[in-house]
């Protein structure tokens, strides 16, 4: 003999069936919230990467060093002149010039090639 379904049992089953769809909806909402958070984090990461690339490009422009052929440095005193240890060059840095009214200080770096009789100024975007 089979069990008889009572009205109470039927009502409980119907109630549980309704709760299942509610739980499914809650799970779907939580999954959607997690997906939105992941997407937001991904957008933030992409923006951060973009900012870092821009900063790196600006920084590489600042740290580039080049040399220019120039005429001899202007007259000055108290500069530092030394010979290069392995090449036939002189290295000259700094100095100052007083014209009677104003004192000018220099933070320039020059290389003088003895073989070529040529002055080169070392130029960088940012100094130390």
- pLDDT exceeds cutoff 90 at 22: no
Radius of gyration of the chain (CA): 39
* Of 77, 74, 84, nearest in space to 114 by CA: 84
Burial class (CB in 10 A: 0-12, 13-18, 19+), 92: buried
Distance of alpha carbon 23 from alpha carbon 48, whole angstroms: 37
pLDDT band at 118 (very low <50, low <70, confident <90, very high): very high
The pair of three-digit structure tokens given for residue 64, joined into one six-digit string: 């580039």
Q: How many CA atoms lie within 13 A of 37 on its CB side?
A: 6
pTM value is: 0.53
48-81 pLDDT tens trace: 999 999 988 877 766 778 899 999 999 999 999 9
């Amino acid at each position: 003999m089979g069990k008889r379904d009572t009205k109470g049992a039927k009502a409980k089953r119907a109630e549980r069936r309704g709760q299942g769809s509610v739980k499914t909806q809650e799970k779907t909402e939580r999954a959607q919230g997690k997906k939105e958070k992941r997407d937001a984090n991904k957008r933030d990461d992409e923006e951060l990467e973009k900012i870092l690339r821009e900063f790196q490009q600006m920084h590489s422009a600042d740290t580039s060093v080049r040399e220019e052929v120039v005429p001899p440095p202007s007259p000055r005193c108290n500069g530092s002149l030394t010979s290069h240890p392995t090449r036939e060059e002189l290295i000259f840095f700094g100095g100052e010039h007083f014209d009677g009214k104003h004192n000018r200080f220099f933070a320039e770096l020059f290389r003088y090639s003895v073989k070529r009789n040529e002055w080169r100024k070392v130029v960088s975007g940012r100094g130390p």
